Structure 1
Amino acid sequence: MLSGYLNAPISFHQEGIGIDKYTAEKLILPAVVIDICKQINDNTNFDYKLNITDVITWEKQHGKIPSGCVVLLHTGWAKKWENANDFMPQDKDGNIHFPGFSRDVSEFLLTERQIAGLGIDTHGVDAGIDTEFSVNRLLLEKPRIVLENLSNLDKLPPTGITIAIAPLRLRDGSGSPVGVLALF
């Protein structure tokens, strides 16, 4: 069982749907896990963004990312939840630093792999330094899945996963805490 948070399109797009409009078939999906803990370099590369080379390298080992799946990014950040300063580290100028997806890789995954969404164990799918929330905006232009603050990604295999996402069905809600059942 995973826990986390699901963003809805209305959180970034005024004309977008609320959390209550996701249908059951949009919430039961195949998933893959890409582990970038090594790229974070023992917590010295907080601003690391998953890139296309990372995806191609992962696919050489595990096969092509299937269409219609959710790509879950394991950064190791969930182990920092107990300490707010570690989970949302700020520099002397107040800029927040944590890893995420690059806009380029997100566009690649959407167009070349036709994914259904993204998930991550950090505060957001956008790296902390992306104050424009470019990945969220891109993904939520349509009612795709954006999962954040996921727990237990370290317990999942890279492939062969089906996730069932259970949000609170808040009318016109911009997001919701979720329980995520991962079957593999």
Structure 2
Amino acid sequence: MLRVVAIAVFSIILFSNAIHALDFKVFDLTHAQSEDAIAWPFYPAYNFTILQRGFNEDLTGGKVWLEWNSFAMAEHSGTHMDAPCHVRVTEGGLRVHEIPLEKLVGPGVIINVKSKVEENIDYRVTLDDIQDWETKYNKIPDGAVVFMNAGWSQRYPNKTLVFGSEDHVDTTTFHFPGWHEDTVDWLLKNRNIHVLGGDTPSFDYARTTTFPVHQLIGENNIPGMENVANLDSIPESGSIIYVAAFKIYDGSGSPSRVFATVSGATNNWSSKCLIIFMVIFYYFG
């Protein structure tokens, strides 16, 4: 009898853990690619051409509905990744197809600076912001995907609000927040991160002319993310973030489907109770 009880308990634990492994919710952190996608003014515009949308006479005798399209866009458009080769002091750095897939996923670290940005649109994330996060949640975990949340997702795709300027062409008029190079330099020297980015059009703030943060992460072969969406939908700590970039050969960047998973975001108690009942019935029924 004792052996049967032990086997039953083991079965409950085993199946409960299997349910727990699937107990997560997925959050989309990506703006849709469309003609409204935000890109710097010197990049070509997004183009989407419908090639077939209807009943095709040639292939199916008009009996089957078919759709296919063609699209063209800049690498650095909408929610996208900057490869390390994009901006550097010297030529080199990983291109998109060379970035290991395991470097595009990691524990989510969301640095919320929305209240500070309300006071200063040109705000840059400081070391104090990092230390505040670590005071709340402990040390930034190895392999982290670290994003600044400036509340910019709500402005997208209004170019005037996103660029902080009525002039959408002259980049010297732009105003939006980003990362401070001293903060990023500290992160690179003291923490092990996989990706750096945020919800603005650049992780360097708009007033820069030298893009020091781009240079820093480029020289360290760290991918960057821009125009990330919906960062308010996930916790500041406790998610896993995935950067599903197009594997563009020789690319300097790539449009990306960024998403996060958060464990325990769904309620599987009914499933767990059903498993317990089934195990008990099997062994003792």
TM, length-normalised to structure 2: 0.61
**Contact 1:20/1:169 (8 A) holds in 2:** yes
Question: 1:2 corresponds to which residue?
Answer: 29
| Gapped regions of structure 1 (runs ≥ 5) | none
Provide, for residues 101-150 of structure 1, a one-character-per-residue CA deviation record: whole Å limited to 9, x for no partner. 00010011111122222120000110111121100110011321201100
* One of 81, 101, 115 as aligned partner of 2:193: 115
* One of 245, 252, 256 as aligned partner of 1:174: 252
Question: 2:217 corresponds to which residue?
Answer: 139
Segment drifting more, 115-124 vs 59-68: 59-68
How many angstroms apart in 1 are the aligned matches of 2:248 and 2:113?
Answer: 33
Where do 1:11-26 residues align within 5 Å? 11-13=86-88, 14-26=91-103
**Contact 1:76/1:121 (8 A) holds in 2:** yes
Q: In the alignment, residue 12 of structure 1 is paired with which amino acid?
A: V
Question: Which has the higher Rg, Structure 1 or Structure 2?
Answer: 2
| Gapped regions of structure 2 (runs ≥ 5) | 1-27, 31-78, 263-285
Aligned residue-pair number: 182
Report the identity percentage: 34
* 2:259 partner SS: strand
Question: 2:108 corresponds to which residue?
Answer: 31
Segment drifting more, 165-174 vs 93-102: 93-102
- Higher RCO (C-alpha under 8 Å, 6+ residues apart): 1
Question: 1:53 corresponds to which residue?
Answer: 128
Question: 2:146 corresponds to which residue?
Answer: 71
Question: 2:208 corresponds to which residue?
Answer: 130
* 1:66 partner SS: coil
TM, length-normalised to structure 1: 0.92
TM-aligned CA deviation for residue 91 of structure 1 = 8.0
Give the CA RMSD over aligned residues.
Answer: 1.7
**Contact 2:160/2:166 (8 A) holds in 1:** no
**Contact 1:124/1:148 (8 A) holds in 2:** yes
How many angstroms apart in 1 are the aligned matches of 2:117 and 2:94?
Answer: 34
**Contact 1:70/1:145 (8 A) holds in 2:** no
How many angstroms apart in 2 are the aligned matches of 1:182 and 1:23?
Answer: 19
Q: Which has the higher helix share?
A: 2
